[in-house]
Amino acid sequence: MADEPKAPQSPESPKPDSAGAKSAPPTAPASAEAAPFPAAKPAAPARPAPPPPKPPVVMQIPLDNDLTKRYREQFGAAILDAIEDRKQPYLVIAATQLAEIARYSRDVEKFDLLEDYTAVDWPRREKRFDLIAILYSFPHNMRLRLKIPLAADETAASLVEIWPTANWLEREIFDMFGISFNGHPDMKRILLPEEWQGHPLRKDYDILQQDTAWVRENLGIASGQ
């Protein structure tokens, strides 16, 4: 005889643990015991010590090369000083022998170009002005500066016969500084009108006060400002 069908049984429910509580979800393994204080940050690297101060830049040094020796042998006490300034040689010379030294510079030392000629005003000095002649030698590819101290009422020999370009440069110095050159072929102003009063590059010339008389007479206005 066939077996009798058995009544269906519900799935077996999970059995509680021995304490009757549900099992806790799994947790990560316990880490090492926490420190009571947060870990210290690593110390910042020490700042490097500041570099030592650079030595002062020496702009001028005494000059005693072969060129200077030849000038001293030729002109003796008329060479007042010899200096190298930022790698450029210059000689301080007496105004009384300017023409002779200039001619020697052209003919013997071959400084065949008067590259520039100007002046500087030092109103508190006994020798108020410095004439500055910048010479260039094409054969030697070098420059030489001649510095000529002058008193306020002192004149200088013209260099036009030695370097013709001095014609216009000396006129500009005369116009701006009031320094005259003996033997110049046409000693008159070159930038300002001939009737202008004063010399604008003298340091006692007030740039805000032009020659009001000339401006009024020639332009018909009270001031040029």
Report the pLDDT value the prediction gives residue 30, as an integer from 0 to 100. 53
From residue 30, alpha-carbon distances to 27, 33, 37, 38, 64 in Å are 8, 8, 19, 19, 87
What is the arithmetic mean of pLDDT over 17-37? 54
Instruction: Tell me phi and psi for residue 91, to 5 degrees.
Output: -115, 135
pLDDT given at position 1: 45
The residue-averaged pLDDT of 13-42 equals: 57
- How confident is the model over 57-63, as a mean pLDDT? 87
Q: Name which of 149, 66, 163, 60 is nearest 105 in CA terms.
A: 163
From 20-24, 108-112, 119-123, 138-142, the region with the lowest mean pLDDT: 20-24
For residue range 139-175, list pLDDT tens digits in order.
999 999 999 999 999 999 999 999 999 999 999 999 9
Q: Which residue has the higher pLDDT, 195 or 211?
A: 195
In the predicted model, is pLDDT for residue 82 greater than 70?
yes
Handedness of CA 91, 93, 98, 103 (dihedral sign): negative
Give me the mean pLDDT over the 22-47 stretch. Answer: 64
**pLDDT at res. 168:** 98
Please tell me the predicted confidence (pLDDT) of residue 33: 56
Rg (CA), the chain: 46
Say which residue, 102 or 59, is predicted with more confidence: 102
pLDDT the model gives residue 214? 77
> HSE-up of 224 (CA within 13 Å, CB side)?
13
Q: Could you tell me the fold of the domain covering 60-191?
A: Beta Polymerase; domain 2 (3.30.460)
Q: What average pLDDT does the chain have?
A: 86
177 phi and psi angles, rounded to 5 deg: -115, -15
* Domain coordinates in residue numbering, the chain: 60-191, 192-225
Between 5 and 159, the more confident residue is 159
